Amino acid sequence: MEPKTVHSHTPMLVYCTCPDHATAVSLANTLVDEALAACINIVPGLTSIYHWQGKRETGSEELLMIKTIQEQYPTLQARIVALHPYELPEVIAVSIQAGLPAYLDWIDTSCHRNTMKPNH
């Protein structure tokens, strides 16, 4: 018997690197508070080696593993680009093909909750 999928929207995992812990925490808090992500894991201690503007670079970074849904992805991407300090932030999204149905449903529900509104 094949597992039943209970979520109504395609769950996604989005990868985004940040230059330091403060940036990673700030970005993660904003994306979760705005209901653009259900959960974000911050993975410290990455070493990235890449070419940028004709030179090979090496840098320390932290990785955000962002759980969201496809419906929220365009807004999530726009927020990352607007808030991120990099000229060209890494934003890579992959569809989640399988997972614990209850967890995937929680991602869906979390990304559909009302955003936090300030008291006025």
DSSP string, 47-116: EEEEEETTEEEEEEEEEEEEEEEGGGHHHHHHHHHHH-SSSS---EEEE-----HHHHHHHHHHTTSPPP
**Are the C-beta atoms of 14 and 75 separated by less than 8 Å?**
no
State residue 9's pLDDT score: 81
Q: Angle, nearest 10°, between helix axes 73-83 and 21-33? A: 140
Write down the pTM of the prediction.
0.86
Q: How confident is the model at residue 108 (pLDDT cuts 50, 70, 90)?
A: very high
Find the mean pLDDT for residues 37-43.
98
Q: How confident is the model at residue 8 (pLDDT cuts 50, 70, 90)?
A: low
* Residue 44 β-bridge partners: none
State residue 23's pLDDT score: 98
Give the angle 102-98-106 at the CA atoms, nearest 5°.
25
Distances (CA, A) of 43 to 2, 89, 90, 120: 32, 16, 15, 36
Domain boundaries of the chain, sorted by first residue: 15-65+78-90
SS3 9: coil
Region 15-65+78-90: CATH code? 3.30.70.120
pLDDT in tens, 49-93: 999 999 999 999 999 999 999 999 999 999 999 999 999 999 999
